């Protein structure tokens, strides 16, 4: 029952604002603060309602599109999809908002026929979201290239890459130059004080935004420094998840795209890159994978993506993949170990749920 506590719906990242000066991830909080002061809304209740709507919309999109396009839903039970972010109370973050925003961005891009307007729209919408969370650029860069039908390194496609430069520059500036300082958190907390103090404790846990340390850099994390073999385990774990996703995508989207391998490889390079400097591993896997699936859902047929590999897999392998999925664990954050791998396997979650259910009787 603790998971469904009212306070769990307080998404701390939504409350970062610019009251202490320009800082990464502060745009949404500044908009929320402006609305609270000028429309007399309770920002905490507004954010909770907003989060509930986002989650409901996420569930609606999954159910609607998986049914409409006859996509097998078993992948959602993977440790690298919804299962572990729900099991370990990581669901209520900015990630759902980033995903929903990307869906809206994709639909908007698909409706624009004029190329110049399309590029301007991509940059403006991406910059808006980068100012809310800089990781948005990392996980949507390759999907946007896919939507733009970048299928080679021709002069025309290099031009498309160059035209995305404004959003790339904003991403670099926000991620490198505007991290803020430890004292800024007090200014931000105080800015919300006039609306009540009930949820300020949750907001106070934002210290990790302002006090990045060596403990978030993968090769300096204590457990990885003490056990270098665990870094190899992390990589092998990632490769295993990659192939599980590849088999699944090839089964469900092979008639729509011949370039799934390359697209997924680029997405997993993005996961590895952000995992090097940010320890929320479970979030990066699920966010990248759900964005990948929905990119393939909404992308126009015949769009390409660096045509390199076209896979032909057997039906037996597709069936075995469903079974393998139950035994794939996932690094949760700040560490990886064989114990953690086993502890996060879907089969263990199902076993624990069944055991708790039987104890009710």
Residues 196-245 have pLDDT tens digits of 877 888 787 777 667 666 567 888 888 888 888 999 999 999 999 999 99
CA distances from 83 to 76, 310, 330, 340 (A): 7, 30, 10, 15
Return all residues near 107 (Cβ < 8 A) that are at least 6 apart.
298
Residue 5: the pLDDT is 57
Residues 138 and 297: their CA atoms lie apart, in Å, by 20
pLDDT tens figures, 50-75: 999 999 999 999 999 999 999 999 99
- Report the predicted TM-score, pTM, of the whole model to 2 decimal places: 0.91
Query: Are 15 and 188 a contacting pair, CB within 8 Å?
Result: yes
Return all residues near 279 (Cβ < 8 A) that are at least 6 apart.
215, 216, 218, 221, 333, 334
The rounded radius of gyration (Å) of the Cα atoms in the chain is 21
Q: Is the pLDDT of residue 307 over 60?
A: no
Per-residue tokens: 45: 């209740």
Per-residue tokens: 46: 């507004």
Query: Are 213 and 41 a contacting pair, CB within 8 Å?
Result: no
User: Whole-angstrom distance between the N-terminal and C-terminal Cα of the chain?
Assistant: 18
Query: Are 191 and 19 a contacting pair, CB within 8 Å?
Result: yes
- Among candidate residues 340, 286, 360, the one with its CA nearest the CA of residue 62: 286
pLDDT tens figures, 142-161: 999 988 888 777 788 888 88
Per-residue confidence band for 3, with pLDDT thresholds at 50, 70 and 90: very low
CA distances from 44 to 8, 40, 92, 104 (A): 12, 12, 14, 25
Residues 8 and 168: their CA atoms lie apart, in Å, by 33
């Amino acid at each position: 029952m603790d998971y469904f506590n009212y306070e769990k719906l307080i998404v701390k990242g939504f409350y970062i604002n610019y009251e202490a000066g320009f800082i990464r991830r502060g745009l949404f909080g500044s908009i929320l603060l402006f609305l609270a002061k000028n429309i007399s809304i309770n920002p905490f209740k507004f954010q909770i309602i907003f989060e509930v709507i986002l989650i409901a919309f996420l569930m609606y999109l999954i159910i609607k599109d998986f049914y409409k396009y006859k996509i097998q839903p078993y992948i959602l039970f993977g440790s690298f999809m919804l299962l572990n972010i729900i099991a370990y109370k990581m669901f209520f973050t900015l990630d759902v908002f980033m995903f929903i925003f990307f869906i809206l961005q994709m639909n908007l891009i698909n409706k624009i026929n004029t190329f110049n307007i399309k590029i301007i729209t991509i940059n403006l919408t991406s910059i808006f979201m980068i100012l809310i969370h800089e990781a948005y650029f990392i996980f949507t860069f390759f999907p946007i290239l896919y939507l733009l039908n970048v299928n080679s390194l021709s002069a025309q496609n290099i031009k498309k890459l160059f035209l995305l430069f404004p959003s790339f520059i904003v991403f670099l500036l926000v991620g490198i130059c505007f991290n803020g300082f430890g004292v800024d958190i007090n200014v931000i907390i105080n800015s919300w004080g006039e609306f009540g103090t009930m949820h300020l404790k949750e907001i106070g846990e934002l210290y990790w935004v302002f006090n990045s340390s060596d403990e978030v850099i993968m090769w300096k994390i204590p457990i990885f420094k003490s056990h270098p073999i665990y870094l190899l385990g992390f990589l092998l774990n990632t490769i295993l998840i990659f192939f599980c996703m590849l088999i699944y995508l090839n089964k469900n989207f092979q008639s729509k795209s011949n370039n799934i391998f390359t697209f997924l490889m680029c997405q997993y390079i993005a996961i590895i890159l952000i995992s090097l400097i940010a320890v929320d591993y479970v979030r990066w896997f699920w966010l990248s994978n759900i964005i990948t699936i929905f990119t393939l859902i909404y992308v126009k047929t015949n769009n390409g993506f660096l045509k390199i590999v076209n896979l032909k897999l057997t039906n037996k392998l597709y069936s075995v993949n469903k079974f393998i999925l139950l035994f794939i664990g996932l690094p949760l954050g700040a560490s990886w170990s064989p114990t953690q791998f086993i502890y996060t396997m879907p089969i263990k979650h199902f076993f624990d749920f069944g055991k708790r259910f039987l104890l009710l009787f």
